[in-house]
Amino acid sequence: MTIALALILAAQVHAALPIQPLITPAVVQQQVRPALAVIPWRFAGAWTGHLGPQRIIVHLGPLCSLDSPDQGAYGITIDRVVYRDGTLTLRLPALGATWTGIEDGSGELTGTWTQRGASAALNLTQEVRR
C-alpha cells in the first residue's frame, strides 16, 4: 500500500466517524488534578441533589468528583475542597463552577451552585451507606 492510498483510507475512515467534542470529561480528568480533601468524616461518601431537572452526585472522600448522570458526565474533578466555620466549598474548574453549602441539621447540605456568573440552589442529601 502506498502512503497516498493509506492517507486516503485514513481520511475516509475519519470522515465516517461522528464528530467528537474537543473537551470531554475524560480529557478534563487529565488536565485537572483532583483535590486531596481533608474534610470531616461525616461528609465522606456520595451526596445527591438536583440542579433544575438534572440529577447531580457529588463524591467526597480522599479524591472528590461530580457526576451528572442525566447528561452522561462522570468523574468531573473537584480540585479544591474547603471546610471552614461550618461552610463547605467545592471548586470545579473544568466547569467554571463552585458549590458552597452548610449543614442544615437534618442531614442535608443546603447550598448554592455558581457557574459562570449564574447561581441556583443545589441541596445535597447523603446517600445511605450499605
Going along the chain from its start, the domains and CATH numbers come out as 22-126 (2.40.128)
**Percent with pLDDT over 70 in the chain:** 69
Question: Three-state SS for 29?
Answer: helix
Report pLDDT for 14: 35
Contact yes or no for 75/29 (Cβ under 8 A): yes
Count CA within 13 A, CB hemisphere, residue 68. Answer: 13
d(CA 92, CA 65) in angstroms, rounded, equals: 9
pLDDT tens-digit readout, 2-61: 333 333 333 333 333 333 333 344 434 444 555 555 677 888 999 999 999 999 999 998
